Every structure is written in structure tokens, then in C-alpha cells.
Amino acid sequence: MVADPYETFKDYGEVYLAPDEHEPFPRHIQALFRQHVTGRYLDIGCADGRKLRHIVTRVVGVSDVLAIEPSGPLCTEARERVKDLDHVRVEHAALEDLEKTGAETGSFDTVTLLEVLEHIEDQSAVLTKIFSYLRPGGVFICSTPNRPVYAAHCRVTGERRDPTHVSELNWAEFRALMGRFSTNVSYTGFWPVMFLYRRWPGLDFLNSLPGARLCSRTMYAIAHKDGTAAS
């Protein structure tokens, strides 16, 4: 029996978010969004909208935001959370239904897929569709758990491993996948025990230590469509 995404996600805040919800990302990831999220922005799988709201209220230059979420209850929560933001629209839709929202291929400057890739079996097919919605030179930001570190973290901390994950990746697999779609990709990540960074943001310096990326609990890729070789 497939786990219900809403039932799995609804206690997310108790595990991962600080009480004031001010730090849903480490500082270097927040800086990543400020640098790359601009223009027309598509967020795929926005869940309850906490991360979406954090991003769109802190970046400069976003003109129009479309977020989609296939879970009805989570979509309702997301709409409520961003209802005061006139430039943000949340639709109850999966990626395969994106055309029904009025979205056009080649029309987005930025697309994010945050903690969604691991829930997808045919990842190549999904990324092919996502890149079709990016304009030339647009930026795709993707995050996903680092399988061996995530598994070890759950064993050590007792955190329940998400039963809706079907295709977790390690660093080598993640880089190979992203390399099929862009020649200009950069990577970053952050250590496990994310709640520590949210409560004490100054600890983010740990993520800049040598070798820290390989030990990341969550991997990030920043891929440019039709780019040149990555630095």
C-alpha cells in the first residue's frame, strides 16, 4: 500500500522547522535562492507552502510565481499560507497536468523541484519535461536526499524514513542524472541534523568545511539550460 503524501508530510514542521519558521534553509542555501530565483518562477511540488513562502518573500526580481502540488490537503494549506501574495498562484496539479494551469513551454526563468525527485520513479522523463518549460538560459534548482547519509541519519536519530520515497540517489547518481540535461551544473548541500542550523544559523559554516558536500544529508544541483561547461 502506497503511503498517503499528506499523512506522511503533515508532521513535517514538528521534525524539521524551528518554532518561528524563519529558517527553513541553511544560510548558504538561502543565498542560492537569492542569486538564482528570478523572473517567472515555477515551483513543482510546493507541499504546504512553507518553503515557497520563504523563497518568494526574500528574493528580488520575481515577477510571477506558479506553484503546483498534487496533494489536495497540502495544496489547500499552501494557498492559505501565500494568500496575501498577489503574484503567487498555487494550483492543485501534478507535473503531467501543468498545461491545464495555462503554463507554456519555454516560459519560465526559474524552476525548483525541492525534495520531490526521490518520490519519482522515471526521473529522466520528469526532468525532460521540466527543462522543456525553462527558457534558454533559465535555471533549474533541484534538491534530494543523499541516500547513504539519509539512511544513516535515520538509523542514528530514529527519524522515520519517508515511505513515499521510491528513487533515492547518492552523489554519483545525482550528478550523472543532472549531467544528462545540462553541461552547466553546480552542486552544494548541507549536513544532517538540519534543525540545528534552523535554530542556530551560525553553524552553517560547517557546510563549507572540506569534504562537507560528500557528507550532505540533502544534495542541491543548480543547472542552467543550454549552458556551457560547468566551472
Q: Which domain holds residue 148?
A: 23-224
- Give the bridge partners for 104, in sequence order: none
The grid cell for 16 is 524539521
Distance from C-alpha of 174 to C-alpha of 183, rounded to nearest angstrom: 14
Sign of CA dihedral 87, 18, 216, 218: negative
- The answer as to whether 4 is a domain residue is no
- The answer as to whether 13 is a domain residue is no
pTM summary value? 0.87
- The answer as to whether 88 is a domain residue is yes
Q: What is the pLDDT of residue 204?
A: 77
Q: How many domains does the chain have?
A: 1
Over the chain (231 residues), the average pLDDT of each successive run of 10 is 47 48 77 96 95 94 95 95 96 93 95 96 96 96 96 87 92 97 94 70 77 85 73 34
- The answer as to whether 142 is a domain residue is yes
Q: What is the pLDDT of residue 215?
A: 85
Q: What CATH number is given to the structural domain containing 197?
A: 3.40.50.150
Q: What is the pLDDT of residue 194?
A: 64
Q: What is the pLDDT of residue 157?
A: 83
- The answer as to whether 48 is a domain residue is yes
Q: Measuring CA to CA, how many Å separate 19 from each of 6, 58, 171, 188?
A: 21, 19, 31, 26
Q: What is the pLDDT of residue 140?
A: 98
DSSP 219: E
- The answer as to whether 155 is a domain residue is yes
- The answer as to whether 34 is a domain residue is yes
Q: Measuring CA to CA, how many Å separate 55 from each of 158, 161, 170?
A: 30, 26, 26
- The answer as to whether 1 is a domain residue is no
